């Protein structure tokens, strides 16, 4: 059986853009809780730079 790999970035692109208010809390739901320390979230800027975001209780906060 062949498997096709899609990165998180590719999966996110297929979901479309979500517009949120500045400082909005964004909750991340999981079918299965990730292993401790395995979840990493980055904010990616238009110029390609990125900055790691702190995840608190399955929540991240939109930038100002």
Distant-in-sequence, close-in-space partners of 21: CB < 8 Å, separation ≥ 6: 62
Q: What is the mean pLDDT of residues 20-38?
A: 86
Structure confidence at residue 25 (pLDDT) = 92
Mean pLDDT for all residues in the chain: 83
What is the pLDDT confidence band of residue 1, given thresholds at 50, 70 and 90?
low
Higher-pLDDT residue of 3 and 19 is 19
Give the predicted TM-score (pTM) of the model.
Answer: 0.60
42 beta partners: 52
Q: At residue 8, does pLDDT exceed 80? A: no
Structure tokens at 61: 């906060």
Burial tier of 20 (Cβ tally within 10 Å: 0-12, 13-18, 19+): exposed
Domain boundaries, the chain: 20-61
């Amino acid at each position: 059986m062949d498997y096709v790999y899609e990165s998180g970035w590719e999966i996110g692109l297929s979901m479309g853009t979500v517009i949120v208010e500045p400082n909005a809390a964004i909750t991340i739901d999981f079918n299965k809780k990730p292993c401790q320390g395995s979840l990493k979230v980055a904010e990616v800027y238009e110029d390609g730079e990125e900055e790691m975001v702190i995840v608190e209780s399955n929540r991240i906060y939109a930038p100002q």
